[in-house]
Structure 1
Amino acid sequence: MKKHYKSLITGENIASLIADGFLAQPKSFVYEVELNSLKTGIHGDYTVSSSNELYSSQPMLDLLLRAYQENATGKKTLIFNNGIETSLKVQEAFNAAGIDVRHLDNKTPNEERKEILQWFKKTKNAVLTSVSLLTTGFDEPTIQNIILNRATTSITLYHQMIGRGSRKLTSKKTFTIIDLGNNIQRFGEWQQPVDWKFAFDHPETFAKQMHYQSGAGSAVHSHALSAELRAQFPKTLEMTFDIEGYFQEAIDMDKKPKTVIQQSIRQQARMCLDNAETLTQAISLAEALTPEIDWRVKQYVKSLDNASKNYKEWLMEDYQNRLKGLIIKLYPKRHLD
């Protein structure tokens, strides 16, 4: 914008509008989600195809339904998705749970759109799952709960989506936000003041700061899992493991560093068992994890500073053997369950 305008005039910030009684007070519920499978498109935001693949998966649909039931049952709810496929899956999942839900996207005919919005307005416990609509210019003060069933890199879109729930009524002084896209982690609380003048004067620096705050520069986030590997673990929501973070935690708590490797092995053993019908399949999944295991071992050895190449090679072999051994040990109990 600075290329076309000389200055930016800012209005009241959200926190002030809440304090002065113009907007409702938000309460946020955050469910951290692994976003490594998301891809960024030419416009800088996450692509619809990669968002559909993640948010249409059964683990994410289960998480969405659980988050709603834990924090918003009975509240008029607006769900934002990044793809039509996802929104239709959400509608199926909520219908199956006996929840009154409708779907709306930019391809919905005008008459049907009017009918759905009228239904949403009049129905007390309505849930509306939407795509590419209702982020701006939509004013429905009776909304009590906003669900961000998507991730975005746009701070403007982030504020617009949540703003749909902030309209105030005599009978409505608060509303809830359920974040399933790490958006609050990326941008901060919705009501947190943003220095828009700084963003206008120094857009590149502002963008870099948001990139850093989201953890995008850390090792755990820069390590992307392949789509092929991710597809082999459909029942697992969180596949990554912050070796460096757990290593520092072990040091801080005066634990032996090897406990980090033990935790990592346990996590991957559970992954293999959760996604296999037989012991043979579980062992096969453990073998498929070899590239991920190699990366984790490298991060662990790097944290040790002075470990030798021979130690790394030994640790890699020992890790794989212990992982398979733990799977064999736990399989009978999982099988009985």
Structure 2
Amino acid sequence: MAEITLELQDEKIGKELYSYQKGAIDQIFEKFETAPNDYHLLYQLPTGGGKTVIFSEIVRQYLKNHSKKVLVMTHRVELCRQTSEMLTSFNVRNKVVNSTANLDDQAEYSCFVAMVETLNNRLNDDKLDISDIGLVIIDEAHYNSFTKLFKFFEKSFILGVTATPLSSNKNLPMKDNYDELITGESIEDLIKNKFLSQAEIFQYDMSLTSLEVGSNGDYTVKSSEDLYTTNSMLDQLLNTYRSIAKGKKTLIFNNGINTSIQVYYTFKAAGYPIAHLDNTATKKQRKQILDWFRETPDAILTSVSILTTGFDEPTIDAIILNRATKSLTLYYQMIGRGSRILQNKSKFTVIDLGNNTHRFGPWGANLDWQTIFRSPNFYMDRLLDDDELESNFRYKMPEAIRSQFGKSEEVYFDIIATYKEAIAKGESSKVVLERSMIHHGKICVENSEDVYDALALAKLLNDDIDHRIHKYAKCISKSTHNFLTWLKEDYQKKLNAYLRKNFDEVFEQIHGYPPED
């Protein structure tokens, strides 16, 4: 696409606009001219598409052609600073309205930038004159914290911008606060035209039924930390990084500070360069960590969602979703952190350890944002819950373990089909686990010379046993944590006992001759 250089008073502005950005600006200004002065317009563009560039040029043109002022609202302090700097690069003189700002000189400014909570306090204290605000721009408009301020701007044109026009609160749909949605370029088109990098997604079938959903509609921190701080989950994260992302600059997203800290110590003990960052870090600590991350080619940064917005680091090569989310917006924001393009970067890696790709579809797939905007509940209600997602999973042994069972043609055992068959014959459901255990015993014997080899192989089946136990528990509709723990321990004891008692017999059945003494 052609680049369009904008000029102001014979001086080049410090940014260049692409044709799709100019097209969006033309569409939005057409609404300025034809819609009522109090119209609420929402504009969607994927992360990395340049939303801040677009609305900064809108502010520049608006102030040039209108006598009224502009207010830009953000939800975080960092975004306030970044937005102010971008507006300045467009020759827009602006004032940041923060908690310490002196507003005695506000009459000298035509553009203000404010964080929503600070602005709310200033407006309620009558400290900011908004009588002449003609245009209000809301960055990351899907956050509902902005809506409480709409009452102050009943005569202003409101422009919301977001990558995902889906409210963060199911009970407060965006269609109730915006009259119309304009959609920008799709991720697919931005990748095709080399404005964004292509995501190579590695997804894993994860057992997440222990997760609980909180009042905000997403998984609770406690249930996430209970799951993702287990040794098996930390080991899977580390092993997955080693096999797919080792040596790449990697950003890990977690749900919970303790999880991120445990991830830090796990990678640190393995000898990898890693840092942890959460919202308790001071500005100085945050800057030091992000500077280190930027300058270190193989750096790993484990975090707790605070880098989903207002963070732009194009050198990121890999994103690991070490968490599950029910938020489509968060899913797109997390992966979008790796989509920035560089001269030598056209692809980036995504490792999904939260079934998020199963839940929402691949990042970059074209979504019908107009339908989602108009009927958000219809879209959300069609998403599969964890039980439905996991009912379609088929456990696949990691290659390192599967190689230990190389003499077995098939290591998969269908718990659900076996359960249905047993029930149809009027048998007890207990026979399902008995037949599963016999199958496990068979593949252990197939790949062993003696009972001690078989018992050693049985220790490698923990994840497979866990998967089968969860499948069985769903079949009998009984899945409390204590029950599952007992069932797994009982299964492992019985498998070991079965191998000790029946090794010689099973070996002879398989090979046609008894094992050597």
Equivalent-residue separation in structure 2 for 1:203 and 1:183 (angstroms): 18
SS for the counterpart of 1:2 is: helix
- 1:267–1:43: structure 2 CA closer, same or farther, 3 Å change rule? farther
Mapping 1:92-171, distance limit 5 Å:
92-171=265-344
What is the CA-CA distance between 1:137 and the residue it aligns to?
A: 1.3
Which residue of structure 2 lines up, in the alignment, with residue 326 of structure 1? 495
What is the CA-CA distance between 1:243 and the residue it aligns to?
A: 4.0
Equivalent-residue separation in structure 2 for 1:267 and 1:156 (angstroms): 43
Equivalent residue in structure 2 for 1:50, among 223, 231, 244: 223
Q: Deviations over 1:129-174 (max 9, x none)?
A: 0013110111000000000000000000000000000000001111
Which residue of structure 1 lines up, in the alignment, with residue 256 of structure 2? 83
Q: Deviations over 1:282-317 (max 9, x none)?
A: xxxxxxxxx979856648xxxxxxxxxxxxxxxxxx
Equivalent-residue separation in structure 2 for 1:156 and 1:85 (angstroms): 23
Equivalent-residue separation in structure 2 for 1:150 and 1:294 (angstroms): 25
What is the CA-CA distance between 1:32 and the residue it aligns to?
A: 1.5
What is the CA-CA distance between 1:107 and the residue it aligns to?
A: 0.5
Q: Contact between 1:220 and 1:242, CA under 8 Å: does it hold in 2?
A: no
In structure 2, list runs of 5 or more residues that go unmatched. Answer: 1-173, 393-412, 423-428, 444-468, 478-489, 504-517
Q: Contact between 1:106 and 1:132, CA under 8 Å: does it hold in 2?
A: no
Q: Contact between 1:243 and 1:296, CA under 8 Å: does it hold in 2?
A: no
Equivalent residue in structure 1 for 2:235, among 50, 62, 71: 62
Q: Deviations over 1:71-94 (max 9, x none)?
A: 011000000001000000000000
Q: Contact between 1:80 and 1:150, CA under 8 Å: does it hold in 2?
A: yes
Q: Deviations over 1:1-52 (max 9, x none)?
A: 1122222111111111101100011101112211011110100000011111
Q: What letter corresponds to residue 416 of structure 2 in structure 1? A: E
Which residue of structure 2 lines up, in the alignment, with residue 284 of structure 1? none
Q: Deviations over 1:240-275 (max 9, x none)?
A: x9743676899xxxxxx99965564469999xxxxx
SS for the counterpart of 1:150 is: coil
Mapping 1:1-337, distance limit 5 Å:
1-211=174-384, 214=385, 216-217=387-388, 220=391, 243-244=415-416, 261=433, 264-265=436-437, 295=473, 298=476, 325-330=494-499
Q: Contact between 1:25 and 1:174, CA under 8 Å: does it hold in 2?
A: yes
SS for the counterpart of 2:339 is: coil
Equivalent-residue separation in structure 2 for 1:324 and 1:123 (angstroms): 48
Equivalent-residue separation in structure 1 for 2:180 and 2:269 (angstroms): 52
In structure 1, list runs of 5 or more residues that go unmatched. Answer: 222-240, 251-256, 271-290, 300-320
What is the CA-CA distance between 1:190 and the residue it aligns to?
A: 0.3
Equivalent-residue separation in structure 1 for 2:202 and 2:472 (angstroms): 35
SS for the counterpart of 2:219 is: coil
Equivalent-residue separation in structure 2 for 1:22 and 1:202 (angstroms): 30
Which residue of structure 2 lines up, in the alignment, with residue 278 of structure 1? none
Higher relative contact order (CA 8 A, sep 6+): 1
CA RMSD of aligned residues (A): 3.4
- 1:296–1:16: structure 2 CA closer, same or farther, 3 Å change rule? closer
Alignment length, in residue pairs?
266
Q: Which has the larger radius of gyration?
A: 2
Q: What letter corresponds to residue 244 of structure 1 in structure 2? A: I
From the two aligned structures, give the one with the greater strand fraction: 2
What is the CA-CA distance between 1:104 and the residue it aligns to?
A: 0.2
SS for the counterpart of 1:210 is: coil
Equivalent-residue separation in structure 2 for 1:205 and 1:267 (angstroms): 43
What is the CA-CA distance between 1:330 and the residue it aligns to?
A: 3.2
What is the CA-CA distance between 1:111 and the residue it aligns to?
A: 0.3
SS for the counterpart of 1:146 is: strand
SS for the counterpart of 1:26 is: strand
- 1:29–1:297: structure 2 CA closer, same or farther, 3 Å change rule? closer
What is the CA-CA distance between 1:209 and the residue it aligns to?
A: 1.4
SS for the counterpart of 1:67 is: helix
Q: Contact between 1:266 and 1:323, CA under 8 Å: does it hold in 2?
A: no
- 1:30–1:258: structure 2 CA closer, same or farther, 3 Å change rule? same
SS for the counterpart of 1:129 is: strand
